[in-house]
Each structure stands twice: as C-alpha cells, then as structure tokens.
Chains A and B, each alone.
Chain A
Amino acid sequence: MTETDDNPLQAYVRAALALQGYTFGDAEIAEIVTQFSRLEAIARTVFDWPLPFASEPAPVFRP
C-alpha cells in the first residue's frame, strides 16, 4: 500500500494534476496538496448546505 492510498485527497490531487497536464516534483505537489486541503475544508460548508432539489445555479446563459 502506498502513502497516497491512505490519503484520498493526496491521491486525488496527484491524479487530477496528471489529468490536467501538470508535471510537478514532490515539493510542488506537497504545496498544492496543502492549498487543496484548505479549499476542501472551506468547501465542506457548501456541500453540507441544505438546498431544495430544484434550486438552480446562479449563472444563467442568455444568448
């Protein structure tokens, strides 16, 4: 079992970086993992917020 198997957030960041075409060393990836962890902590408030099923996103495209 690798370190990233134990840490889904770190595994996600590594996979997402590769998918988006980034090639970083371990030091840069560690920084990005730290930043992503902060984002994820704040984003939790958004996930847990109860919304009616039919509520729409804010931006509406108007041609």
Chain B
Amino acid sequence: MGSAAGIVQQIAKGKRSAAAVLAECKALIQAKDPELNCFTAKTFERAEREAAAIDALYAGGKALPPLAGVPYAVKNLFDVEGMVTLAGAKINAGNVPAAADATIVARMKRAGAVLLGALNMEELAYGFLTENHHYGTTRNPHDLERGAGGSSGGSAAAVGAGMLPITLGSDTSGSIRVPASLCGVFGLKPTYGRLPRTGTYPFVNSFDHVGPFANSVHGLALAYDVMQGPDPADPACAQRAIEPAGVTLSLPPGTRIGILGGWFHEWADPAARRSVQLAAAALGATEWTEFKSAEVARAAAYVITGAEGGALHRPRLIERYEDFGPASRSRLVAGGLIPASWVIQAQRVRRHAYREAMDLFERFDLLIAAAAPAVAPKVGQEALLINGRSIPTKAGLGVLTQPISCIGLPVCTVPVWPAEGDSAAERALPVGVQLIGAPWHEGLCLAAARTLEQAGIAEVRPTSAA
C-alpha cells in the first residue's frame, strides 16, 4: 500500500493513478477484512468518484491537493453524507442518513483524500475494546486471537493490517492511543479543542477529541495539518489559526524530555516498560519525573465520563434499554446516577491536575510513557495482570491514557516492539509509547515520533493477516 506521502508523490509524478491506488486498496480490503472485521460499511462508489476527480486534475495539468489520491476510512461515529452514523450502536441504525460530511471528513475530501468506508468501534465509544455486541469483534492484525483495542479498533486495525495508510478515530479516554498501541500503528490525539468535532457522534463533551491514525509519521502529520482550523460550530474548538506540523518534523536541539515514573511505571508491565526504555534511549532521555495527580486525574475522568455519558443517553436508555449492548447499558445507567457533587469535585480535580502538568512543562518540553499497560489481550480476556496486580481489561487498558486526556494534552503514540513476554506470540507484539506535549505543541510530539521512526525504534510492521 505504501505511505500517504509516497502515494501523493507517485500520483504527482504520474507513476500511479489515483484509480490504480484505489483498486489496490479495494483488493487489500476484500482480502483482509473478512477475518479482521474492520469495516461496517464500504463507500467504494464515492471512492471511485473522488479518485477520478484527482486523476482528472492530473490529466488537466492542475495543481494537486496535499492528500491527492490517498485512501482512508473513518470510525463509524463520523458523519458521512448519505450514510447512517452508527457510533457502533444498534439504537442508531434506524436514524436518518447524515445530510453532510463531518467537518474533518469534508476537510479530508477537500485535501484530495479518497474515502473507502466506515470502521467498527466499541458501542458508543464506551470502552477500550472493540468487542461490539451488534457489529462483531475487530481482531488484531498481528494475532487474530487478540483484540484490536478500542474504542477506535477498526481504525487502528485497518492501518495495522496494511489496508489503508490513514484512518480517522476519536479519543475520549484513550480510544486512539490504546488501539494504536495494540495494533502497532501511529496515532495522534491532538490538544483538546484543536480539531473540530462537528458532525461526529458525541460521547463525553468534556473529553471528546478526534484525530488520525497512519502507517508513517509524515502521513499522520499530513492528515493532521489538513484537518486543522477553527470551526465556530464546535463550541470546544479553539479558534486558532492553522499551525502546520508537517513542515518541519525535526526535534529542536536541547529538547528536554522527561520519563514519567510513579503511576505510569507501576501500571506498565515489563513489555511496556521495555518500550519506554527503547524510546527514551533513542531520544536521549534519562531524567525520570512524576505526574503526581495521575491516579486522581484518571478517577476524575472516570466520574465525568460516567456522568456525561449516562446523561446523554438517558432518554434512549429509558425507552430502548434492551437495544443497548449488555456491556454498555448498565454502565451508562449507573453513570447517569452520579451525584452532582462528585462531578463538580472531579472538575475541580481536573483543573488542579492541569496546573500540576503545566508546572512539569516548565522543566520538560515533552513527557514519555507507555500507551497501554501491556500487549494486546486475547479476545474475551476478562483481566490484565500488571506487575502482580489484576485489573479488569475493559477499564485497565486505559489506565495510562486516561490521566492525560483528562487534561487535554496532545499525544502522539508510536509503535514500539519490545520483544518481551512469556510466549513467542507475546514477544511479537507491540506496545505503543505516548509522546506527550504541552497544549498546542503537537508539532513537537510529531517531531519526536519522526526521530524514533528514523532511528528504527518506531515502525509499522507487516502482519500475517491474510
């Protein structure tokens, strides 16, 4: 398939047409998707039209847009004109089709990208697995007995399997970073408010982010750059000018990088610790530090998520409880019962945790930590055992991401291959590393990711799937 930048170059030089790239991509999807279950809908007719438009521009000698002919697909909570936005839920299946594309889908289209379909996710984005009661489990492209993670599991697995160079997902508590870690791909969760969420199905307004997955850092930066820009229709979207990250993907000399210990070390198993060690060594990071509010920030995120998610879905939970998946419905109802005093206290904690993080960024430009506590668990695995402590898989996979999204920091997750574990299967799996920046410093996160990619520490590896 190749990287997004490679495809753009080949099309610009006339070495491949957008139609030829699309044909290859469709063949890969038809060969690989049946055993992985990434797609819930395909938009091949639209893709044919979009690819033909790019080839017409080339034939006419016109300038090509930045993602000309690059195939991509989106988590099925993004509005796609003419399609029902499922958000992984049966309760949405009877809704009217979207009248227009979500803002960032429209921006991808304007940039010349070619949309191939909608991707599977955890129901309503509530959870770190993609074991969807209604639309099936998305499997890990590196080991079909294991899960892809979630909630953007289809988005991560489609890139990890080599079906697509770019996909889009969303991240409320780790839903880009966890599946990126488990499937061995690059993922970017920008600063809260950086990318507009207009036309996406909400889960927790206080924490919902959108962002890209890619098989290269350059591809991630290309997609991120074309999706930037203010959007008054999203009240959380910062009305900031575009700050292109893909122009210079090099780490400035003297960048101060801290390794997060404490909570982030305690909840990282030997494989996750090894990933962090490999990344730290390649970045020249030696100093450990601690984000002392990590545990309470995670707890605050848990409370706010439960309350907002439960309140959002209450009318449908009252009317159609049986149509929600068994793993979601009782959690959503319980969340909706959280007393206001807990939520207010959690929001105060959130402010406090943010201030502590800002103090850390006086000493460091970038912080690093594992993106998941371990390699991908097996499908149906109930618990993770992390350094002798058991934690339910569904909640535990986000233990290292939730404290960071609680305070909206930008994070690039990179795929690292620690070769640690009790079995050969485990030793062949990745654990991602979070490169965490201060607010609005996505460029620095991406530059560090590029450094690791160039050093051969972070890479998307071929899979055995199909």
Which A residues have a C-beta under 8 Å from some C-beta of B? Answer: 12-13, 16-17, 20-22, 24, 28, 31-32, 34-36, 38-39, 42-47, 49, 51, 55-59
Contacts and interface: CB of A to CB of B under 8 A. Distances in A.
30 contacts: A13-B337, A17-B337, A20-B336, A22-B333, A31-B330, A36-B334, A39-B302, A39-B306, A39-B334, A39-B338, A43-B299, A43-B338, A43-B342, A43-B346, A45-B296, A46-B296, A46-B345, A46-B346, A49-B296, A49-B352, A51-B345, A51-B352, A55-B351, A55-B352, A56-B351, A57-B344, A57-B348, A57-B351, A58-B347, A59-B206
B303 interface: yes
A54 to B, nearest CB: 10
Given A46-B346, A57-B350, A22 B318 contact: yes
Interface string B293-336: 00110111011001000000010011001000000001101111
B342 A46 contact: yes
Interface string B194-233: 0000000000001000000000000000000000000000
Given A22-B317, A49-B349, A57-B350, A42 B334 contact: no
B206 A47 contact: no
Contact of A28 (B321, B342, B347, B349): B321
A47 B350 contact: no
A32 B334 contact: yes
Nearest to A61: B235
Q: Is the interface of A mostly helix, strand, loop or mixed?
A: helix
A34 to B, nearest CB: 7
B299 A42 contact: yes
Nearest to B406: A58
Contact of B348 (A17, A34, A56): A56
Nearest to A21: B318
B300 A39 contact: no
Given A32-B337, A43-B342, A51-B345, 18 more contacts: A20-B337, A32-B333, A35-B331, A35-B334, A35-B335, A39-B302, A39-B338, A42-B298, A43-B299, A46-B300, A46-B345, A47-B345, A49-B345, A55-B348, A55-B352, A57-B351, A58-B351, A58-B354
Interface residues of B, number: 32
A47 B299 CA distance: 10
A19 B330 CA distance: 17
A3 to B, nearest CB: 19
B355 to A, nearest CB: 9
A58 to B, nearest CB: 4
List of 3 A-B pairs having minimum Cβ-Cβ separation, nearest first: A57-B347, A35-B334, A45-B299
B171 to A, nearest CB: 18
A55 B299 CA distance: 18
Nearest to A37: B334
B272 to A, nearest CB: 22
Given A36-B337, A42-B302, A43-B338, A51 B349 contact: yes
B302 A17 contact: no
Contacts of A21: 318
Nearest to A19: B337
Contacts of B354: 58
A24 B298 CA distance: 30
